[in-house]
Structure 1
Amino acid sequence: MLDIENILLQISVMALPALLAITLHEAAHGYAALHFGDDTAKRQGRLSLNPLRHIDPLGTVILPLVMFATTGFMFGWAKPVPVDFRNLRNPRRDMVWVAAAGPAVNIVLAVVSALLLHTANLVPDFMAQWFVRNLAISLQFNVLLACFNMIPLPPLDGGRVAVGLLPDALAFPLARLERYGMFILIGVVFLIPFIAGKLGYDFSPLGMVLLPVVDMVVDWIVRLTGIMG
């Protein structure tokens, strides 16, 4: 028999931090673009902290729920905020700042979540555990989202940063990968681990590279904020 109360509790402590993380991530891109001269997001009503304006049916709802039901872990994305890089005052340079704004906000959210753990003793006992779990997951999820998005592959933020910083000889071929970027990600994140699992192997190339970096950043934030006992 399903424990509905426990399921709802699990969803609440994972969904709320995730929704906040991806909403502020996308809003940061829009605000950064506006600062550097592009008002596309503002004109399309996407310059908002309202999560409903950033929900992507697949990435924000379906995939996280499927992952939670099958793995007990949630991951997803929001609807990308539209940015017309041609409107930026210095398109190549400003593209770097616009792209980096989302992951930067996630790191700030991770640090704030860690700092708020110091206030757990001020929370009433009946919700203290829920409060701590929310903040702990917020710390982990924001770091994961930031690190994932900084993978140097367009259309991820890290790919746009790399295109903006690399010399032309490297930047142009990388930029041309954008049309294939999502297919490459789907293959690395889902297809390769799935095929490997069917063959009896536990192999996730992205996990092997990304998770140690995530653990390192989380450990740095834990030490920086003094929440390690």
Structure 2
Amino acid sequence: METLNQMQLLAVLAIPVIFAITVHEAAHGWVANRLGDKTASMLGRVTFNPIRHIDPVGTILVPSLTFLFTGMLFGWAKPVPVNWRNLRHPRRDMALVAVAGPGANLFMALLWGLMIQLGLLLMPTSQWVALPLIYMGAAGILINVFLMVLNLVPLLPLDGGRVLNSLLPPRLAVYFSRLEPFGLVILLALLATGLLGSILFPLVIGVVDLLPGAGAVKTLFHF
């Protein structure tokens, strides 16, 4: 199985990236709707239609540039609106809404891993079908695991920050929430200094090792 150059990798990553972000955001909205807040549903955000979730800069331009220049995929989608006042148990339910996104990414990573296994079964007889399944499956695992791990960083406005904010005592949660306007700046600073990669990559590799198709991911992405 041949490794791919950067432009080929970018092409292979495109569909998994769109699905990873779309399902991640739809999961937030779906769980919020189940827990009492119908804001996302009324705005049409509980959907697998990527157009509803894509931010032209954060979903397309920034991930393309960061991948080409740093080898990392970094970006964002339009955040799904959640009105915590509508939730039946606001602090607990906000944590559940937050966890839904990374949970959806883990589920998709498992599905992409199964796609790799299917590709390997087909390889001896139908390479023209098998290779696209393996390449896209490997890309799907990597992007979903990376998105899951990134979003679990305990920093607002990331999902991990939402969970931590829900777990902190109310008084500490108020102070912690004041850091949210600086969250993206902190993330970009960590990315620029290389600290973000040094923190995330070992976690990503550890999770990938637990999934079916890990060997294909390591071969294609030189782990």
**TM-score, with normalisation over the residues of structure 2?**
0.86
TM-aligned CA deviation for residue 96 of structure 1: 0.4
In the alignment, what sits opposite 1:168? 170
Matched ranges for 1:129-148 at <5 A: 129-148=131-150
Secondary structure at 2:208 match in 1: helix
Q: Considering Cα pairs closer than 8 Å and 6+ residues apart, tell me whether 1 or 2 has the greater RCO.
A: 2
User: Is residue 122 of structure 2 the alignment partner of residue 122 of structure 1?
Assistant: yes
TM-aligned CA deviation for residue 16 of structure 1: 0.7
In the alignment, what sits opposite 2:151? 149
In the alignment, what sits opposite 1:61? 60
TM-aligned CA deviation for residue 78 of structure 1: 1.4
2:203 to 213, 222, 229: 213
CA distance in 1: counterparts of 2:70 and 2:195, whole angstroms: 18
Secondary structure at 1:221 match in 2: coil
Q: Which amino acid aligns with 1:31?
A: W
In the alignment, what sits opposite 1:198? none
Secondary structure at 1:220 match in 2: coil
CA distance in 2: counterparts of 1:72 and 1:133, whole angstroms: 17
TM-aligned CA deviation for residue 166 of structure 1: 2.0
CA distance in 1: counterparts of 2:139 and 2:13, whole angstroms: 7
Q: Deviation per CA, 1:108-162: give whole Å up to 9, x if none.
A: 1111111222211237321322210110111111111001000001110000000
Summarize the Cα distance change of 1:222–1:127 in structure 2 as closer, same or farther, 3 Å threshold.
closer
**TM-score, with normalisation over the residues of structure 1?**
0.83
In the alignment, what sits opposite 1:104? 103
Count matched residues.
Answer: 209
Q: Deviation per CA, 1:181-214: give whole Å up to 9, x if none.
A: 1121122123xx2xxxxxxxxxx11112111111
CA distance in 1: counterparts of 2:211 and 2:106, whole angstroms: 9
Stretches of structure 2 lacking an aligned partner (at least 5 in a row): 219-223
CA contact (8 A) 2:16 2:136 kept: yes
Secondary structure at 2:100 match in 1: helix
CA distance in 2: counterparts of 1:221 and 1:7, whole angstroms: 24
Summarize the Cα distance change of 1:161–1:129 in structure 2 as closer, same or farther, 3 Å threshold.
same
Stretches of structure 1 lacking an aligned partner (at least 5 in a row): 1-5, 194-203
Matched ranges for 1:188-203 at <5 A: 188-190=190-192, 193=193
Quick check: 149-158 or 10-19, which moved more?
10-19
CA distance in 2: counterparts of 1:211 and 1:68, whole angstroms: 14
Give % identity.
Answer: 45
Q: Deviation per CA, 1:81-125: give whole Å up to 9, x if none.
A: 111111111110100000000000001111111122221123732
In the alignment, what sits opposite 1:3? none
CA distance in 1: counterparts of 2:57 and 2:34, whole angstroms: 30
